[in-house]
């Protein structure tokens, strides 16, 4: 997936079991779609909580975070409730969406953490505006997404 590529549409259940479609989540704004390996782990908690802490700043640019992992709905709900994550956390148990976004691991590591840490800023026209790929810098994903949204606003001005 590259900048300007169309973002594949999909439908997955959120932490409450409600089906969510990417095209509906966009609703004229931006989605910051972040894939994370596993709910309730230290790195994914740090990353998700940083998105939570920047939700208001993202909203200023018409953007909302949406997380995806292979965790089941009930684990996503526990994760959201434990850490006050007030945005959709989607369950991709078979990794089909992660695979479409090149965020699915292969090989030995796939058994431990099937989803790679990747973030996509998706514009209202359902195209990739920016992407972040860092497995070890948890805060980089939200920070770089916010920076990309600022740059997009400046280009549009």
What are the residue ranges of helices labelled H in the chain? Answer: 22-26, 42-53, 55-59, 73-83, 96-100, 109-112, 140-156
* Token output for 104: 């699915």
Q: d(Cα 75, Cα 39) in Å, to the nearest integer?
A: 7
Terminal CA-CA length for the chain: 26
**49 belongs to the catalytic site:** no
* Token output for 61: 């640019």
Whether residue 26 contacts residue 10, with contact meaning beta carbons closer than 8 Å, is answered with no
Choosing from 31, 44, 80, 148, the catalytic residue is: 44
Within 8 A by CB and 6+ apart from 63, the residues are 29, 30, 31, 32, 121, 145, 149
Give the active site residues: 44
């Amino acid at each position: 997936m590259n900048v300007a590529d169309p973002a594949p549409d999909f439908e997955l259940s959120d932490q409450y079991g409600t089906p969510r479609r990417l095209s509906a989540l966009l609703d004229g704004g931006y989605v910051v779609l972040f894939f994370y390996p596993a709910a309730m782990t230290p790195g994914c908690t740090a990353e998700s909580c940083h998105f939570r802490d920047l939700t208001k700043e993202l909203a200023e640019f018409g953007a909302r975070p949406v997380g995806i992992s292979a965790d089941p709905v009930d684990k996503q709900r526990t994760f959201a409730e434990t850490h006050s994550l007030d945005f959709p956390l989607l369950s991709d148990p078979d990794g089909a969406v992660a695979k479409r976004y090149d965020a699915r691991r292969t090989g030995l590591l796939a058994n431990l953490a099937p989803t790679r840490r990747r973030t996509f800023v998706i514009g209202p026209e359902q195209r990739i505006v920016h992407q972040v790929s860092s497995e070890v810098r948890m805060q980089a994903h939200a920070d770089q997404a916010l920076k990309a949204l600022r740059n997009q606003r400046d280009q549009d001005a």
